[in-house]
Amino acid sequence: MSAAPQFHSLKVIDVRKETDEATSLAFEVPCGLGEAYTYSQGQYLTLRADIGGEDLRRPYSICSGVDDAELRVAVKRLPGGRFSNFVNDDVTTGDMVDVMTPLGNFYVPVDADAERNYVGFAGGSGITPFMSIIKTVLRHEPKSTFTLFYGNRTISSVMFREALGELKDRYMGRLRLFHVLSDEVPETELFAGLLNAEKISELLDSLVDVAATDHFFICGPGPMMEAADAELKSRGVDAKRIKLEVFGTPAPHASAQPKAANGKDTGPAAKVGVILNGVRTDVAVPFEGTSVLDAALERNLDLPFACKGGVCCTCKAKLVEGEVRMDINYGLEPEEVEAGYILTCQSHPVTDTLIVDYDDR
Ligand code: FES
């Protein structure tokens, strides 16, 4: 069991332009918070800021390795992305930013004796968690290998290009790195085009022994992730060997229940006991409409959340009693659902009473 994630205000100690469209931020972790911000490779941080009077939160993958002695995330500018534009335009060294303690499951625990083969498919800013994973795994598992296929439009839009080159030199023979470019013609035809189903299939046929690969990691645009996941499964790869990190936040699920003119849900409600930091608060949550998370936030409970789209798992909690239905779940592993974990931003009561524990993660 681990405590509910919490925000702390951290000082930005370095701002680095990774490409014209992406910036990375390193944070100072004060004495006393070192343990809270200890992370596993591939995890993410949720940043929070008041932008235009609105409390906005976004999850960003950590790009530092666990031995890098820094805590760094990378943020790519998105068209119309209020948070990503704020980071790329306004955040400077010395600023204080609210940063949630690390979360995420996009990793396999390292094992110094393991002799594993890993394969990754990254697209655009989906490279970020791979920086952390590759650095950590190749350092801590001296007999393991990593093959990375990284899709971009052009070579100038490649994030961490230099750092990837350095890693390739350092781990010659154990890191294979293949850039796949859609808007430029590389020397080899195999590496030209989009990372779509056809290209992924070609790359696997030519360069990967699928049966001898222990774990596959996929992070990038939705269509690429779906294509890679489907292709691997069609080749008999068990879902347990495939890790997906979805960070294109889908729109929050629309409420099926009409609300009253004052914006409040109408209709019957369940009694939901919300446990946070050892304290239980009872909240009325309608069977239709507002989610468990939103109903509890309306009661001013300081609950963890980021995307509200069923993706990031920041709002994960243990359902101790009762039953819920989730609108969508892109984030929880099947074993977690079986163990009773729910995404509270997507959950609606099915039974008259629920107990939801945010302290049990
Ligand atoms: S807040 Fe991201 S899954 Fe619920």
Is the domain of 91 the same as that of 173?
Answer: no
CA-to-CA separations, 274 to 56, 278, 281, in angstroms, rounded: 23, 10, 5
Q: Is the CB of 303 under 6 A from ligand 1?
A: no
Q: How many CB atoms lie within 10 A of CB 111?
A: 13
Per-residue model confidence as pLDDT tens digits over 114-159: 999 999 999 999 999 999 999 999 999 999 999 999 999 999 999 9
What pLDDT does 185 receive? Answer: 84
Q: Is the CB of 246 under 6 A from ligand 1?
A: no
Q: Is the CB of 306 under 6 A from ligand 1?
A: yes
Instruction: Note whether residue 319 is domain-resident.
Output: yes
Is the domain of 35 the same as that of 65?
Answer: yes
Instruction: Note whether residue 330 is domain-resident.
Output: yes
Q: Is the CB of 159 under 6 A from ligand 1?
A: no
Is the domain of 305 the same as that of 236?
Answer: no
Q: Is the CB of 331 under 6 A from ligand 1?
A: yes
Q: What is the number of domains present in the chain?
A: 3
Domain CATH code at residue 195: 3.40.50.80
Digitized pLDDT (tens) for each residue of the chain, 361 residues in all? 566 789 999 999 999 999 999 999 999 999 999 999 999 999 999 999 999 999 999 999 999 999 999 999 999 999 899 999 999 999 999 999 999 999 998 999 999 999 999 999 999 999 999 999 999 999 999 999 999 999 999 999 999 999 999 999 999 999 999 999 999 988 899 999 999 999 999 999 999 999 999 999 999 999 999 999 999 999 999 999 999 998 654 444 444 444 444 555 557 899 999 999 999 999 999 999 999 999 999 999 999 998 898 988 999 999 999 999 999 998 898 889 999 999 999 999 999 999 999 998 8
What pLDDT does 334 receive? Answer: 87
Q: Which of 57, 307, 326 to mutate to test the pocket of ligand 1 (most atoms within 8 A of CB)?
A: 307
Under 8 Å between Cβ of 206 and 196: no
Instruction: Note whether residue 250 is domain-resident.
Output: no
Instruction: Note whether residue 89 is domain-resident.
Output: yes
Is the domain of 125 the same as that of 230?
Answer: yes
What pLDDT does 263 receive? Answer: 52
Distance CA 242, CA 232 (A): 8
Distance CA 111, CA 250 (A): 35
Closest to 214 measured CA to CA, from 238, 233, 191, 195 = 238
Which residue minimizes the CA distance to atom 3 of ligand 1?
A: 310
Q: Is the CB of 343 under 6 A from ligand 1?
A: yes
Distance CA 356, CA 314 (A): 14
Per the rule left: phi > 0, alpha: psi between -120 and 50, beta: everything else, 42 is left
Share of the chain above pLDDT 90, in %: 84
Q: Is the CB of 100 under 6 A from ligand 1?
A: no
Instruction: Note whether residue 200 is domain-resident.
Output: yes
Is the domain of 122 the same as that of 207?
Answer: yes
Element (H, E) at 215: strand 215-219
Q: Is the CB of 316 under 6 A from ligand 1?
A: no
Residues 6+ apart with CB under 8 A from 59: 44, 45, 46, 47, 103, 247, 306, 307, 312, 314
Q: Which atom of ligand 1 is nearest to the CA of 345?
A: 4
Instruction: Note whether residue 295 is domain-resident.
Output: yes
Residue 179 domain boundaries = 117-245
Q: Which atom of ligand 1 is nearest to the CA of 304?
A: 1
Q: Which atom of ligand 1 is nearest to the CA of 343?
A: 4
Q: What is the pTM of this model?
A: 0.86
Per-residue model confidence as pLDDT tens digits over 201-229: 999 999 999 999 999 999 999 999 999 99
Q: Which atom of ligand 1 is nearest to the CA of 313?
A: 3
Under 8 Å between Cβ of 62 and 129: yes
Kindly give the distance from the C-alpha atom of residue 167 to the centroid of ligand 1, in angstroms, as a whole number.
33
What pLDDT does 256 receive? Answer: 43
Kindly give the distance from the C-alpha atom of residue 329 to the centroid of ligand 1, in angstroms, as a whole number.
9
What pLDDT does 2 receive? Answer: 62
Per-residue model confidence as pLDDT tens digits over 51-63: 999 999 999 999 9
Q: Which atom of ligand 1 is nearest to the CA of 307?
A: 2
Q: Is the CB of 180 under 6 A from ligand 1?
A: no
Kindly give the distance from the C-alpha atom of residue 100 to the centroid of ligand 1, in angstroms, as a whole number.
13
Q: Is the CB of 313 under 6 A from ligand 1?
A: yes
Instruction: Note whether residue 261 is domain-resident.
Output: no
Is the domain of 127 the same as that of 241?
Answer: yes
Q: Is the CB of 342 under 6 A from ligand 1?
A: no
Instruction: Note whether residue 112 is domain-resident.
Output: no
